[in-house]
Amino acid sequence: MSDDEDIRRAIALSLGEQERPVSVPEDDEEAQFQEDLQRALEASRASIGTAAKPNPAAQAASASSFLSERAQLEKARLERQKRLRGDTGSAEGEGSPSSSSAPPAKSATGMAYTAPSGSEPLFWDGELRQTANKHVDPKKDTQPTFRLSEIIGKKSELSFALVSSYALMLPWLYEFFNPSTPVILVAQPDHSGHESIRNVLPNWVMTTPFLRNGRGCMHIKFMLLFYKTGRLRVVVTTANFVDFDWRDIENTVWLQDIPLRSSPIPHDPKATDFPAAFERVLKALNVRAALDNMLKTDHPNLPVKSIQDIRCRWDFSKVKVKLVASLAGKHEGWPSLILTGHTGLMKALRDLGLHAPKDKDVVLECQGSSIGTYSTQWMNEFHCSARGDSAEEWLDQPKSRRAKLPWPPVKILFPSLQTVRQSVLGENGGGTMFCRRNQWDAAKFPRELFHDSRSKRGGVLMHTKMIIATFRDKSQSTLASSSRGKQRPLDVDSGSETEDSDIVEVDPSDAKRDYAGWAYVGSHNFTPSAWGTLSGSAFTPILNITNYEMGIVFPIKTSKDVDRVAAWERPPCKYESGKDVPWMQDESSILAD
């Protein structure tokens, strides 16, 4: 069998396995999410025009055509790149014109990048940007953006790549790499939830992690890109590696370039820094076994011989963000809990000096694409970690008291039905956002916490998962809760907020008050499945997590920085009681057709 036939067969097989429908019990929230997402991906491809509803014959024909026309595709890609250099058109289905030709600037986080003359931009201090999008309002799309082609750079310069995604369009992703480049791809396991390693394409190995009873999601999206010059690029994104996530729906990307050390440092099993945290994630995702397999077979000369090499051989000293991951499973005891889930977020905030002062409250704005099943107990449990407070005191409280606490100061951002219908793509663009009627209508569901999700860049819907936390005087929190009503809009010219403001000027005399707040960006939706649920006691705590998730957290210094980092219009508009309802795709007659 020829190489081309091998590739055709592998792609067809992979597509069939990725897109097989799943039957799940109604009361399984995370499994229901997977079923909803699969159905929505197919509907979105059909209605947005990205692809037709898949069938085995069409998949095989598509894969065959995809491979037999590689020369034409490469020629077209080069022509598109030429057009991009002239700021016209779009490349590889990726959204609005490239911003890489723009002069060096600062991102929303103030992280500067450098672009040596004649070369691609390098981001030694880290960079946070939204993805390019073909549907944004050009007048509002004023900040630099990222395209996937820009992130990866020149194909010929890559020596190895590690890629992770929940949803996947393999032929589309394959086009961004040279066929000879070895790639390890982390993906969602099959219904059994067992670990697996298999070849899916020549030089491509797919690995899947373990999921208890097949429940949950491998929801992490990242790239580790190793270049022949020795540079490593770390990419954490909210976007899956499917074409419409990089073209039609808004997502967020953080990346940083990491230099090679002059000489390796010894492995430190007790390290807790950024690369050590990433190493734990890679082990949990079954990457170590996949790497060993690749080294023993066709690629003995990879730039990394073990996962430990990443920390030992590359210099992460300029990385200032903290990596926060959720690893699926049951975690017992504080040494384990502070490494994962929302208790891991708590530890990261403390390490960054973001433990909330006693006289301050923490107000959360939580943007995501999937709504969870919420209780006041879980919401307060999460908010405890978001303040940087240890859950020991929380767990020592009687369960009866925990269950009766009021909702903490949290704003849940999710697009209303009206916002989806008024977006550029309308209901056709809402196929990857999930809220169900039985959630919304539940007797104790926090409808009063819902706020509309509106992108700062115009009528596009957001797949971005982001939490913005701001410090506010507790006296202001009490006043705001007693006078909460119709919000006044943000003063665009001054950048200041008026009524119901979440931002306060911090006291520079106190080291812990040097910041206005903090931000999280990554794969976590604001759900118990993503962040975990606490049980046990203060002495023997237990954290159960359903999903694999990962993101970054970093401090925000000023209120203006808060507005720059947030992907949405601030302050977010609260749902109008009796009028606004969240977008529920399973009630859409358009997506049902």
More confident residue, 1 or 332: 332
Closest C-alpha to 119, from 101, 105, 106: 101
Domain at 3-70+122-320, CATH class: alpha beta
Distant-in-sequence, close-in-space partners of 509: CB < 8 Å, separation ≥ 6: none
pLDDT tens track for 461-483:
999 999 999 999 887 654 444 33
CA angle 294, 297, 303 (to 5 degrees): 45
- Do β-strands 158-164 and 183-186 pair in parallel, antiparallel, or remain unpaired? parallel
Residue the block writes with tokens 């989806």: 420
CA dihedral 148→154→157→158, nearest 10 degrees, is 20
pLDDT on residue 30: 53
pLDDT more than 70, % of the chain: 73
pLDDT one-digit tens code per residue, 394-426 = 898 888 888 889 999 999 999 999 999 999 999
Look up the CATH superfamily of 354-490+510-592.
Endonuclease Chain A (3.30.870.10)
Least confident of 21-30, 164-173, 274-283: 21-30
Cβ neighbour number for residue 195 with a 10 Å cutoff: 15
Phi, psi for residue 475 in degrees, rounded to 5: -65, -35
Cα Rg, the chain, nearest whole Å: 23
**pTM summary value:** 0.81
Q: What is the 3-state secondary structure (H, E, C) of 25-37?
A: CCCCHHHHHHHHH
Q: Does the structure show a pLDDT above 50 at 1?
A: no
Compute the distance between CA of residue 43 and CA of residue 590 in angstroms, rounded to an integer.
9
Q: What is the model's pLDDT at position 121?
A: 92
AA letter at 88: T
pLDDT in tens, 525-561: 999 999 999 999 999 999 999 999 999 999 999 999 9
Does the annotation flag 399 for ligand binding? no
Q: Which of 35-44, 60-69, 384-393, 482-491 has the lowest mean pLDDT?
A: 482-491
- What's the DSSP call for residue 391? T
Q: What CA–CA distance (Å, rounded) separates 364 from 375?
A: 16
Catalytic residue, from 219, 331, 342, 451: name it: 219
Find the DSSP H helices in 107-235. Answer: 148-152, 170-174
CA dist 317 and 257 (Å) reads: 11
Note the pLDDT of residue 96: 34
Q: Worst-scoring range by mean pLDDT, 3-17, 124-138, 337-351, 440-454?
A: 3-17
pLDDT of residue 83 exceeding 60, the answer is no
Q: What is the mean pLDDT of the chain?
A: 81
- Residue 544 pairs in a beta bridge with 330, 533
| Cα(285)–Cα(156) distance, integer angstroms | 28
pLDDT of 61 higher than 70: no
Between CA 119 and CA 125, with CA 146 as vertex, the angle to 5 degrees is: 65
Which of 342, 383, 451, 463 is catalytic? The answer is 463
Residue 116: pLDDT over 80: no
In the chain, residues under CATH classification 3.30.870.10 are 3-70+122-320, 354-490+510-592
pLDDT at 476: 66
For 520, list phi and psi in degrees, rounded to 5: -115, 140
Task: Identify the residue whose tokens are 């055509």.
Answer: 65
Q: What pLDDT, on the 0 to 100 scale, is given for residue 3?
A: 43
Angle between helices 70-85 and 56-68 (to 10 degrees): 70
Q: Is 106 annotated as a binding residue?
A: no
Residue 463 appears among annotated catalytic residues: yes
Could you confirm whether 219 is annotated as catalytic? Answer: yes
Chain-centroid distance, C-alpha 573: 23
- pLDDT band of 502, cuts 50, 70, 90: very low
Return phi, psi of residue 115, to 5°: -135, 95
Rounded CA separation 135/247 (Å): 8
pLDDT tens across 560-587, in order? 999 999 999 999 999 999 999 999 999 9
Helix axes 341-351, 376-386, angle to 10 degrees: 30
For residue 403, what pLDDT is reported? 85
